[in-house]
Structure 1
Amino acid sequence: MDRISKEQRSRNMAAIKSSGTKDEIALAKALWMLGYRYRKNNKTVFGKPDITFKKLKIAIFIDSEFFHGKDWNSAKHKIKSNQAFWHNKIERNIERDKEVTTFLTNSGWIVLRFWSTEVRKEISNVVELIIKNIDERKASIAVANQ
């Protein structure tokens, strides 16, 4: 049994964004302020990453803990209502994340995945890791072009 009405639950779920979340915006702004230019939610890249550096083949995903199943083996027991639906949905999301990562990696992309709390609490570390990957990719491209 749900603690809130069906109508309220529907409004709550409708308000959840799939793109343009606070964490995505914070990371995008941090990168922009440092002079890095990117595309957000690029539909031309498989999996529609949250942030892409297409020329460098770097895809960045910011995953919410609930919908992408962080610590899923222990977290799935905390879901009390509509368990079958949520278990199927989240397990399929986890599977899809693996498929997207595998496809992009096999296509020569660097795939960086961050949990939304990681972006929120440790944004400087996240930005530093992204910049490191950008610099390494630029260096490898420069060596290949010589």
Structure 2
Amino acid sequence: MTDVLTREQRKYNMSRIQSKNTGPEVKLRKFLFARGIRGYRIHYDLPGKPDIVFTKKKIVVFIDGCFWHKCPVCFQEPETRKEFWMKKIQSNVDRAIKINDQLQSEGWTVIRIWEHEIRKEPEKSVKKIISLL
């Protein structure tokens, strides 16, 4: 199946994809705030640009998009330009592993939460974070 959008339209659509303050990220922060957890930073300057950082406890939280990070539960391969997208997505997965190793070697605890986990069971994600605090 060919792409229904022109090259310029696709480029515009892709440029609109946010990397900060995404829906799942904001939702998780609201749940943390509601539970009284406020001692965190967002988009702290660390390798991988974690979404939430608890500097005193040295805990970083990444919220991974199911498509961009190849979620084992709900990832669907793209229909078009499969080779290009799979290479890009695999590089995201490889980079995440490298970032995890780097942060852990520096003494950080790394938590990775899938986008669908926040969408379906946000309280479970919050409890995962609270258990480490």
Q: Which moved more, 1:33-42 or 1:93-102?
A: 33-42
AA aligned to 1:42 is Y
AA aligned to 2:5 is I
Unaligned runs of 5+ in 2: none
Q: Which has the larger radius of gyration?
A: 1
How far off its partner does 1:6 sit? 2.1
SS at match of 1:105: helix
Match of 1:6 in 2: 7
How far off its partner does 1:104 sit? 1.2
Q: How does 1:119-130 map to 2 (within 5 A)?
A: 119-130=118-129
AA aligned to 2:63 is I
What CA deviation, in whole Å up to 9, does each residue of 1:41-77 have, x standing for no partner? 111x2211000001100000000011111139x74xx
How far off its partner does 1:84 sit? 2.4
Tell me the TM-score normalized by structure 2.
Answer: 0.90
Tell me the TM-score normalized by structure 1.
Answer: 0.82
- Is residue 71 of structure 1 aligned with residue 72 of structure 2? yes
How far off its partner does 1:94 sit? 0.3
SS at match of 2:117: helix
AA aligned to 1:53 is F
AA aligned to 1:41 is H
Q: How does 1:1-146 map to 2 (within 5 A)?
A: 1-36=2-37, 37-43=39-45, 45-71=46-72, 75=76, 78-134=77-133
CA distance in 1, matches of 2:48, 2:122: 23
Q: Which moved more, 1:82-91 or 1:48-57?
A: 82-91
- Alignment coverage as a number of residue pairs: 130
CA distance in 2, matches of 1:26, 1:70: 19
How far off its partner does 1:85 sit? 1.8
CA distance in 1, matches of 2:9, 2:116: 26
What CA deviation, in whole Å up to 9, does each residue of 1:103-140 have, x standing for no partner? 11122111110110101111001101111111xxxxxx
CA distance in 2, matches of 1:99, 1:112: 14
CA distance in 2, matches of 1:71, 1:114: 12
- Structure in which a larger fraction of residues adopt helix: 1
Unaligned runs of 5+ in 1: 135-146
State percent identity of aligned pairs: 38
